[in-house]
Amino acid sequence: MVIPLAQNKFDVDSRAVRGFLGQQQLEDALTGMDIVIIPAGVPRKPGMTRDDLFNINAGIVKTLCEGIAKCCPKAIVNLISNPVNSTVPIAAEVFKKVGTYDPKRLLGVTMLDVVRANTFVAEVLGLDPREVDVPVVGGHAGVTILPLLSQVKPSCSLTPTEIDYLTDRIQNGGTEVVEAKAGAGSATLSMAYAAAKFADACLRGLRGDASVIECAYVASTVTELPFFASKVRLGRAGIEEIYSLGPLNEYERAGLEKAKKELAGSIQKGVSFVRK
């Protein structure tokens, strides 16, 4: 944890927190870690897409992953830094270069899309969001975020208008926050909640808990793309199982094709950044 944040955390009655600052302390921060969470980077501002962040955040992620490869190559990596659709491929290429790549231990965090989907669908259905489960697949930006509303639990019947509304709002939930903050940043509290929720799931998997299933953006054969977000089962080795998409309706199949086209370019952009 960086020093200013650690100083704030010192006020919380939890286990001891250590703070580190800058690249000169990176190895000290990473050595011996079982899970590494990477939220580093610049936030979006109004008018920016996640892809606009690429040139800055790509370099940050590359440096951090080089440190992980050296100091804790067996760690499970939770990658939050945007654009996740490109930064996960960057991390994979860095690890491949030094021979430490384990696809089971590299996960792009798309939990915020799931949290938003559960909340927005619950609002429409008049339910508690904690009782709703919406699979969100694809990626973590715009049209690549594909909520499978035909697979919502509990089972429900949504009108075409509701499906259009919910899909658009889930895909653009981040932009909604950026615009509301009017230049003061992007999603922070909701992202922190989603990151903590996903990290907790990884920890429960490491502990050996059964049936820890969440959506994440991972190396995958679910589609023809090398990376794709879908439900995965977490365990002691990281990803224990990657689930198929299940039955899709016509609306979702069309959305899937749009998502894949966008994702392909983002993935290649990340790969090319490291290989150039």
Q: What is the pLDDT of residues 133-169, one digit of tens each?
A: 999 999 999 999 999 999 999 999 999 999 999 999 9
Position 209 pLDDT exceeds 90 = yes
Nearest to 174 by CA among 90, 127, 112, 267: 112
Specify the CATH number for 3-109; select among 3.30.70.260, 3.30.420.40, 3.40.50.1820, 3.40.50.720. 3.40.50.720
Catalytic residue selected from 62, 140, 169, 231: 140
Residue 68 is labelled as binding a ligand:
no
Would the CATH topology of 3-109 be identical to that of 111-265? no
Residue 218 is predicted with a pLDDT of 98
Average pLDDT estimate for 77-98: 97
Asked if 94 is an active-site residue, the reply is: no
Q: Are 108 and 227 in contact (CB under 8 A)?
A: yes
Report how far apart the first and last C-alpha atoms of the chain are (Å, whole number): 31
Domain boundaries of the chain, sorted by first residue = 3-109, 111-265
Q: What is the CATH number of domain 111-265?
A: 3.90.110.10
Residue 82 is labelled as binding a ligand:
yes
Residue 186: band (very low, low, confident or very high) from pLDDT cuts 50, 70, 90? low
Residue 80 is labelled as binding a ligand:
yes
